[in-house]
Amino acid sequence: MSDNSGKILKSIQPGKIVLPIFIGLAVTAYLLYKEFDPSVLDAVNFSFQSLFWFFVSFLMMAARDFGYIIRIRLLSGRKLGWRKAFNIIMLWEFTSAITPSAIGGTSVAIFFLNKEGIKIGRSTAIVMVTSFLDELYFILTFPLILLLIGRTDIFSFGDSMEVGLPFYKNQFFMFAFIGYLLKLAYTIIIAYGLFVNPRGLKWVLLWIFKLPIIRRWRPHANESGSDLIAASDEFKNWSFVNWLKAFLATAFSWTARYWIVNTLIIAFFGVQFFNWDEHFLIFGKQLVMWIMMLVSPTPGGSGFAEWVFKEFLSNMIPLGTGVAMAFMWRLVSYYPYLLIGAIVVPRWIRKHFIKG
């Protein structure tokens, strides 16, 4: 086993699930202790319909993963079977769940793909294209949702709920706008490198990394540039139909992920399924939340995600229920990956690294 492999394997040890679980539960317990009022339970619906929509929320998460599995099989030229594709997605999500949100599982996804029989060049290309497609979905969806909603309270936070406030006077709009511009710039750079001039972009990267303050990372910039060239060679001649399929799988996955919150609110707080105005607003708020969660320093955004969720959706659910709702959201969308990863990782390591 190479030194690099050893570092990666160390970073995905199942024992690392303890920290994110502890942080998430500790923050949830603190917020419940601070804010919980038993009387708010009167505003929560508990019925067979609640159980049904709670089950649907888990189906949304399964649908999200299914979309990712379809996409990665498509990007691999169907060289990955369903089982291998499932393992890679679960390993990827598990790594994202135990590392800070700003790092995520992308840095080791190339390793997972390579170990499942995909050449290193194509593995790099696949990871870069998945990143490009994810960002493209956000870039296209965010302004569309803003146009459909036509309201500024999508950016309201906690007690600062002000309807009718101009966009430019809302501090969270400015936060989201800056984050959107950064995502847009990243997407344009990746698109330019993938489809127009990968060698030119590599040259620019190496020129930038001549600066004294970042010179020590120049070898990594050189490696990233080479990866970009490989990605371009792999995918710039792809047919429109293949790109459309990959993007639709991406859109399906992300939309299903965001609809988890919508289904939970339908389940417990009486929002009707066909109340599209409310659902678009909830959907839009999650796009803003996603920008904020990207800067979280904790593993998988633990603790920070629960707090942001409670504050951002505080005007969508009865007062005092935000913490419990945040916990249910993480119970569906986060903790299952810790459990699945703890099962999949040891088996995957035994298969690829332990002989006999």
For 285: left if phi > 0, alpha if psi spans -120 to 50, otherwise beta; the answer is alpha
Average pLDDT over every residue of 191-219: 76
The contacts of residue 40 (CB under 8 Å, 6+ apart) are: 318, 319, 320, 321
Average pLDDT over every residue of 151-169: 58
Alpha-carbon gap, residue 338 to 353, rounded angstroms: 22
303 three-state secondary structure = coil
Instruction: Tell me what percent of the residues of the chain surpass a pLDDT of 90.
Output: 16
pLDDT at 82: 94
Task: Pull the structure tokens for residue 311.
Answer: 């504050």
**Higher pLDDT, residue 161 or 331:** 331
Between the ranges 64-68, 92-96, 194-198, where is the mean pLDDT highest?
64-68
**Higher pLDDT, residue 296 or 247:** 247
pLDDT at 1: 41
pLDDT at 319: 54
324 three-state secondary structure = helix
Predicted TM-score of the model (pTM): 0.79
Beta-bridge partners for 100: 299
Alpha-carbon gap, residue 23 to 297, rounded angstroms: 12
Tell me what the pLDDT averaged over the chain comes to: 76
Task: Note whether 123 and 113 are within 8 A (CB).
Answer: yes
Average pLDDT over every residue of 172-196: 82
In the 8-state DSSP scheme, what is residue 142?
H
Average pLDDT over every residue of 272-281: 76
pLDDT band at 318 (very low <50, low <70, confident <90, very high): low
Q: What is the pLDDT of residues 105-118, one digit of tens each?
A: 566 787 888 888 88
pLDDT at 6: 60
pLDDT band at 3 (very low <50, low <70, confident <90, very high): very low
pLDDT at 2: 47
